[in-house]
Structure 1
Amino acid sequence: MQEGIIIKGIGGFYYVETESKDIFECRARGKFRKKNITPLVGDRVVIEVTDNNSGYIIDIKERRSQLIRPAVSNVDQVVVVFSIKEPYINYTLLDRILVQIEKNKLDTILCFSKSDLVTEEEYNEVSRIYIDAGYKVIKTDVVNNNGIEELKGLLRDKITVFAGPSGVGKSTLFNVLQDKVKMETGEISSKISRGKHTTRHAQLINLEHDSYIVDTPGFSMLDLSHIDEFELMHYFREFKEYLGRCKFSSCLHLNEKGCAIIESVENGLLSRRRYDNYKLFLLEIKNNRRISK
């Protein structure tokens, strides 16, 4: 018996890296299917080796965290990669991703890539929104190697998922951060200003002894239907200071009188752009509840 971590899963085969850094191609025992348990990239597992490079997964250790989309377990933090230009930043998508990460109680690093394409003023205008919201923000530029060492330091001794839309330079960042796996990089479509999807499955890559990064398939929309309407406000970090100050305890911060969140937005203490996305998501959740009844 050996212990290891699943670094990749394709078509029912799971590739397990053991402590000795050997990699075994494994199938899961039937007991997992009977219990409706699917092994995930990031799972710590026990395997039974049948020959030199293959075996079976016989046990999955308890997961300390689990993401549904992408399907990865035991993640410590998420690096959310967005470019400000080429493609232009989609604030609604960014906030939607951040809500999902907050729900999963994971640490977040917001990485603005391709910083060589924007002025300092343009970068500050965008980054200030998220710094004020309480996020760790860094800017990277692979052309001039700016921010790469800082990012490497933040990845040390953690399992880190990289998330974000296609075309923002995630694969390019991966190729700069490590040389074990060459990620295919895609050009931006001139018609839709989005990148081609170049990553087909989640894959965990070892940077050093206990540091892993996960590349995940690109995505553009995330479903919020599993979030309760009274839950959403807690996933906007900057709201927390004002929660409980509203006139009505049942305030959803939509259009109620005496709402501390609305007043703070009007007074410039909270980002109107972020608040507008909160309202958009809240109405989406309420509409979904109405349709499902």
Structure 2
Amino acid sequence: MATGKIIKALSGFYYVYHEGTVYQCRGRGVFRKRKVTPLVGDIVEFQAETQTEGYILSIEGRKNEFVRPPIANVDQALVVTSAANPDFNSVLLDRFLVLVEAKRLEPIIVISKMDQTSEAVAAEIEEYQKVYERIGYTVILSSFRDAGGIDRIQSYLAKKTTVIAGQSGVGKSSLLNTIDPRLNIDTDEISESLGRGKHTTRHVELYEVAGGLVADTPGFSSLEFGDLETDQLSECFPEFVEVQDQCKFRGCLHAKEPKCAVKAEVLEGNISEKRYDHYLQFLNEIQNRKPRY
């Protein structure tokens, strides 16, 4: 019996990394009975007669887990968005940040394809960069020809398990291939007719990259706030968390309530009005979602 980490799950097999070797394993029937599915990122105990005949016996407790993509024990998220092709979308970026914050992950924002946009759009993105850095986020503006940006991204990957989040077509797989050409992960051109990327990543897999483990995944295929309640949303906006204890009403949703510290900070210009507008949009979405039974 040995302990290892699942680095890939495919067609009912789990590929467990242990001391430099990968073992192909199946899950014991006991997992099905308990309705537990081993996930990429899980630390497991396993037994293997050969490299292709192993069984997972138990799964250690997880510090976090995602349903889409199915992965566990992640340290941080590289949130990749693009300056062009597809165009920069601040609402979508904030949506990804909320989903990442909800899982208590450290987000690192990468805005790719900076070399493919106009000076006006680049200037607008640089203003957004200032907003996010003021909040405390790391923001890296990059193109795949920019060695400095790539080096900076690599420095954040060491000794971490990182998931890459971002809409299709922003260059998540291209980014990994640039950092480590040996990966040779499938990429595809933007679909001109759809204006978005085709899904080229078929399964979740952890790759050794820059001294850490990086998940190349099909991305967050669901961007809905299905598990998030109205009173949890503001916790996913760090700049709100800093001041919301000063709101007059406990449980303030920072929407229609009087004497709200968050709204006061927006009026003072200390909290981005656009970020606040996105918060209200997300709040309305959560309040109006259909109940699940």
With normalisation by structure 2, the TM-score equals: 0.92
Deviations 1:11-44 (A, max 9, x none): 211111111x211111001111111110000111
Cα distance in 1 for residues equivalent to 2:239 and 2:83: 22
Deviations 1:93-116 (A, max 9, x none): 221221111111111111111122
For 1:203, the aligned partner's letter is E
What is residue 36 of structure 1 aligned with on the other side?
35
What is residue 148 of structure 2 aligned with on the other side?
146
- 1:266 paired with 2:267, answer yes
What is residue 199 of structure 2 aligned with on the other side?
197
Matches within 5 A, 1:1-293: 1-19=1-19, 21-118=20-117, 119=119, 121-207=123-209, 211-219=212-220, 221-288=222-289, 291=291
Bigger CA drift: 229-238 or 61-70?
61-70
Deviations 1:172-211 (A, max 9, x none): 11101224421111111223321111111111001266x1
For 1:71, the aligned partner's letter is P
Q: Secondary structure at the match of 1:185?
A: coil
Identity over the aligned pairs, expressed in percent?
42
Higher helix share: 2
Q: Is the 8 A contact 1:243 1:260 kept in 2?
A: yes
For 1:28, the aligned partner's letter is G
Cα distance in 1 for residues equivalent to 2:24 and 2:199: 26
Q: Secondary structure at the match of 2:230?
A: coil
Cα distance in 1 for residues equivalent to 2:241 and 2:170: 30
Bigger CA drift: 272-281 or 239-248?
239-248
Bigger CA drift: 264-273 or 117-126?
117-126
Cα distance in 1 for residues equivalent to 2:193 and 2:243: 43
With normalisation by structure 1, the TM-score equals: 0.92
- Moved runs in structure 1, 4+ residues, more than 6 A? none
Cα distance in 2 for residues equivalent to 1:225 and 1:45: 29
Q: Secondary structure at the match of 2:213?
A: strand
| Structure 2: gaps spanning 5 or more residues | none
Q: Over aligned residues, Cα RMSD in angstroms? A: 1.9
Deviations 1:126-157 (A, max 9, x none): 21221122211112211233311111111001
For 2:239, the aligned partner's letter is E
For 1:79, the aligned partner's letter is L
